[in-house]
Structure 1
Amino acid sequence: MRVSTMNLFRRGFAAEKRDDAVFLFHEMLRMRPKPSVLAFSKLLSVVVKMKQYTIALNMFDEMRQSDFGFAIFGNFFKHCYQPNVATFTTLIKGLFLDHKAIEAEKLFKKLLTLELCELNEVMILTVINGLCKAGHTLTAYDLLVLFDKTSCKPDVYSYTTVIDSLCKDRMVDEALQLLAKMIDKGISPNIVTYNSMLQGLCNFGRWKDAKDLITEIVDRKNGRVEEAWCLFLEIPHKGLGYNVVTYNIMLHGLFRTSRFAEGLKLFKDMQAPQLTPNLVTYNTILKGLCMNKQIAEAFSFLHVMEDKGVNPNITTYSILIHGLCMDGKLEIARNLFNSLPSKGLQPNIQICTIIIGSLCQEGHVEEAKCLLKEMERNVCAPNSVTYNVYIQGLLKRKLLAEAKAFLDEMHRRGFSPDSTTVSLFLEYEGIIFV
C-alpha cells in the first residue's frame, strides 16, 4: 500500500523508498494549488541523499522530453514554478555525483545563458568542485575566471579547490600564479590553500619554492604566522626535511608576533636533530629578547653565541644597542657603541641613527650633532632618516633656529622632511613646505 501524500508531507518528504519518492513527485504535479518550489527542492534533496541521482534526473525529464534531457524550464514556468538557485544546485550536484560532469557543465552553462537564477557562492563551489573531482581542472579554471567577472565573486574555497586540483595535475606553476592572483584580489588564502600549494611543490622536488612559500606567509602584512606554523609542522610529512633556514624563518615569525616563549622553545627543539644555529638564528633570538625587553637575557645569550664560536656582526650589536636605547639604558648603549671599533666593526648608518635618536631623546643634542658630523668625516654619510631624527630632536628641545639650519642642509643634500618633521615645524612656527 502506498504511503499517503499527506503523510509524506508531514514527514517532511523523508521518503524512505525510491518508489515513495516517485509517487510523491507525481502526486505533487497533480496537486492544486501547486506545491512551492521549496517543496520540489526539498524532495530533490532527499532523492539525492538517497543517491538515486538517475531518478532525480528522470523526474525533471518526465516533465518535458527533449534532446537535452534536463530542459525542464518551460514546463516549470508553465506550471508557475520558479526554480531557484537551490533547486539547480541540487540537480548539478547530483549530476556530478552520478559521474555526469559533461551534463552538469551543460546545464550550468544553460543557466548562465538563459539567466534562469542568480548565482551564489554555494553553486559556484559546487560546479568548481565537481569539475575538479571529475578531472576537468582547466575547465574549472576557465569558469573561475568567468565567475570573477560576474557580480558573485568566487571565494577562498573555490580558489583553493582549483589550486589543489592544479597541483595534483602537475600544473604547479599555474597554481602559484592563481595563488598570486587571489592575493592580488584581496582574497586571503587559508591553511588549506597553503597546504595544497606546499604539497604540490614538495611532490615535484621544488624545495626552494616550498621554503619561499613559508617565508612569504610569515612576511606578509599582518603575518599569517598561525598558517606558517601549521605548514612548518607538516614539512616532515611531505618529504621536505627541516634545515636551519626553515627554522630561522619560523623563529622570525614567532618573535615578530610576540610569541616569545614558543620561539625560545623552537630554538631548543632545532638543536635536537643536530642542527647548528647560525648567525641569523642568534640575531633573530637576540632581536626577540630585546623586543620583549629582556636585555639581561639578551646579553647572556650573546655570551652563549660567542662560546659556540659564532662571531657577532654589526647587525648583532645594532640589535643590542637599539634594545638598550628602547629600555632607557643610553649610557650602556653609548659605551657599547664606542667599543665597536675595538671589535673590528665599523658603525653603519642604521646604528648611528639609533644612537643619535636616543641622544636627542635624552637631551644630548650637542653630542648627537658631533656624531652627525663624525659620520660625514668617516665616509658614513647621514641619510634622510638620520636628518629627520636629529631635526625632530632639536624641535622637541625648541631649538628652532638650529633645526631650520639643518633643514636647509637636508634640502641641499636632496633629502625631504618626513611627516613628523613637518608636523613639528608647523606646530612651533607655522612653516609651510612647498
Structure 2
Amino acid sequence: MDLNEKTYCILIHGFTKENRIDKALVLFDWMKGLGFDRDVPLFMEGDLVAASWLLQDGNKLSIGPFVSLYNAVLEGLVNGGKVNEAYLLLQEMIASNNLSDEEIAGCASDNEEVEYITNLFKFEKAVIPNSDSYSIVIDGLCKYQELDKALELLHDMAANGCIGNLLLYNNLIHEMCNADRLQESFKLMKAMRGLGLEPNHFTYNSIFGCLCRKEKVSDVLDLMREMLHHGHTPWIKHDTILLKRLCTRGNAMEACQFLSDLEEVGFLPNVIAYSAAIDGLCRIEELDHALKLFHDVHAHGYAPDVVAHNVLIHGFCKEELMRPKA
C-alpha cells in the first residue's frame, strides 16, 4: 500500500511537533521525489528551526525560486502566530539587498531579536523581497493589530519599487478603520488611486462604517454620494448603527433628518432603520412625528415589521393614548 500526500503531511506535522526536524525534513524530501506538492507554510507551522533548515537547503537556488522559498517561510511564520519573527526576517531581507555578500556574512546587530534571526537564518547572499513578501507580512501585522509596523512596511514597499494590490490596501484600510484611524484610511485610499488601484465596495464601506460609528453625519452623506456615483452600495448595517446612536443620545429629530437626507442622496433606508428612528421619537415623546414616520414606511413600499409596531404601541401605551388617531 503506497502512502499518499495526506499521510506524509500528518507524519511531518507529528515529527515537527516533537522537534524531530531531521525526520520531518527526510519525509519532506521524499515528497519531492514522489512529485507531491510540498506545502512549506503548513509544514513549518511557525517553527523557526524548521524554516532555517529549509532556507539553508535553498541557498543553492537562483534568486527567483529562492525568494519564493523565503516567502513560503514568511507565510509559515505568520500562520504559526510568529508575526514579529516574520517582520524581523523581512527587515533582514530588505537590509541584505543593500549589502555585499561579504558584508552580509559578517554583519552583526545590537538588537538581540534581530541578531537571533540573522544567526538562525544565516544569510549567505542578498534576498530581494518582492510584493508578495511585503503583502504576507503586512497582512499578518494587520491581523495582530500591529498597524504602525504595517504602515512602515508599506512605505518601504513603495520605496523599493514594489506595488501592493487591492486586497492588501483593503485589509489595511479595514483595520485602520476598526482602530478609528480615519484620516490615515483616507490617505491610504488616495495612495491606492495614485497607484492606479480603484477602491471597491469593501474599501468604501470600511471607511463608511467608521464615519457612521463616529456619527459624522455630514461626512457620511458626502461619502454616500461618492459611493453611489461610482456604483457602490452602502452597507445598511452601518447607517442603521448611526441612526440608533443618534436616537440613544436623544437626537431622534436629527436621526429623522438623516433619514430624509438619505432619500435625497438616492439611498432608501430599510425597515430596521425606520424602526430605530420611530423608537427614538417615542423615547422623546414625539408620538405624532413617530406615527407620521410609521405611515411614511408604507408610502415607501415597505411593510413595517413587528418591531416597528411594538415600538409604536409601547410609546402610545406609555402616554396612555390607547386609541391614537391615524
Q: Given the two structures, how large is their TM-score scaled by the length of structure 2?
A: 0.61
Counterpart position of 1:48: 78
Residues 173, 203 of structure 2: 8 Å contact kept: yes
* TM alignment of 1:334-345, pairs within 5 A: none
Q: After TM superposition, give the deviation of residue 127 of structure 1 in Å.
A: 1.8
Greater displacement, 231-240 / 179-188: 231-240
SS of the residue corresponding to residue 95 of structure 2 reads: coil
Structure 2 Cα separation of the partners of residues 267 and 203 of structure 1: 16
Residues 56, 91 of structure 1: 8 Å contact kept: yes
Counterpart position of 2:28: 7
Structure 2 Cα separation of the partners of residues 251 and 21 of structure 1: 67
Counterpart position of 2:272: 230
Residues 211, 246 of structure 1: 8 Å contact kept: no
* TM alignment of 1:180-259, pairs within 5 A: 180-199=225-244, 201-202=246-247, 205-217=250-262, 221=266, 224-225=268-269, 228-233=270-275, 241=283, 243-246=287-290, 248-249=292-293, 251-257=295-301, 259=302
Residue 273, structure 1, aligned to residue 273, structure 2: no
Structure 2 Cα separation of the partners of residues 28 and 210 of structure 1: 64
* TM alignment of 1:28-427, pairs within 5 A: 29-32=58-61, 35=65, 40-65=70-95, 83-84=130-131, 86-120=132-166, 122-168=167-213, 171=216, 173-199=218-244, 201-202=246-247, 205-217=250-262, 221=266, 224-225=268-269, 228-233=270-275, 241=283, 243-246=287-290, 248-249=292-293, 251-257=295-301, 259=302, 262-263=303-304, 269=310, 272-275=313-316
Percent of aligned positions with the same letter in both sequences?
14
Q: After TM superposition, give the deviation of residue 189 of structure 1 in Å.
A: 0.6
The letter of the residue matching 2:28 is: N
The letter of the residue matching 2:273 is: L
Structure 1 residues 176, 57: CA separation in 2 closer, same or farther (over 3 Å shift)? Answer: same
**Greater RCO between the two (CA within 8 Å, min separation 6)?**
2
Structure 1 residues 196, 23: CA separation in 2 closer, same or farther (over 3 Å shift)? Answer: farther
The letter of the residue matching 1:273 is: H
Greater displacement, 150-159 / 4-13: 4-13
Structure 1 Cα separation of the partners of residues 88 and 239 of structure 2: 41
Residues 131, 139 of structure 1: 8 Å contact kept: yes
SS of the residue corresponding to residue 199 of structure 2 reads: coil
Structure 1 residues 267, 234: CA separation in 2 closer, same or farther (over 3 Å shift)? Answer: closer
The letter of the residue matching 1:50 is: G
Structure 1 residues 154, 7: CA separation in 2 closer, same or farther (over 3 Å shift)? Answer: same
Residues 173, 185 of structure 2: 8 Å contact kept: yes
Q: After TM superposition, give the deviation of residue 272 of structure 1 in Å.
A: 2.4
Residues 45, 76 of structure 2: 8 Å contact kept: no
Q: After TM superposition, give the deviation of residue 78 of structure 1 in Å.
A: 6.2
Deviation track 1:51-105 (CA, whole Å, cap 9, x = no partner) reads: 2111111222333537x99xxxxx9x965x6723x44222112234455433321
Structure 2 Cα separation of the partners of residues 38 and 246 of structure 1: 62
Q: After TM superposition, give the deviation of residue 181 of structure 1 in Å.
A: 3.6
How much is the aligned-residue C-alpha RMSD, in angstroms? Answer: 4.4
Q: After TM superposition, give the deviation of residue 206 of structure 1 in Å.
A: 3.5
Structure 1 residues 4, 243: CA separation in 2 closer, same or farther (over 3 Å shift)? Answer: farther
Structure 2 Cα separation of the partners of residues 43 and 263 of structure 1: 55
Q: Which of 10, 18, 26 in structure 1 is aligned with 2:47?
A: 18
Q: Which has the larger radius of gyration?
A: 1
Structure 2 Cα separation of the partners of residues 192 and 21 of structure 1: 45
SS of the residue corresponding to residue 163 of structure 2 reads: coil
Structure 1 residues 132, 263: CA separation in 2 closer, same or farther (over 3 Å shift)? Answer: closer
Deviation track 1:289-330 (CA, whole Å, cap 9, x = no partner) reads: xxxxxxxxxxxxxxxxxx9766xxxxxxxxxxxxxxxxxxxx
Counterpart position of 1:354: none
The letter of the residue matching 1:16 is: E
The letter of the residue matching 2:55 is: H
Q: After TM superposition, give the deviation of residue 247 of structure 1 in Å.
A: 5.4
5+ residue gaps, structure 1, are 70-74, 277-306, 311-434
Residues 147, 154 of structure 1: 8 Å contact kept: yes
Structure 2 Cα separation of the partners of residues 134 and 255 of structure 1: 39
5+ residue gaps, structure 2, are 1-19, 30-36, 99-113, 115-122, 318-322
Deviation track 1:185-235 (CA, whole Å, cap 9, x = no partner) reads: 4432112332343355446543233223334456665x645xx22334556
Residues 77, 83 of structure 2: 8 Å contact kept: yes
Structure 2 Cα separation of the partners of residues 190 and 247 of structure 1: 27
SS of the residue corresponding to residue 314 of structure 2 reads: coil
Q: Given the two structures, how large is their TM-score scaled by the length of structure 1?
A: 0.48
SS of the residue corresponding to residue 208 of structure 1 reads: helix
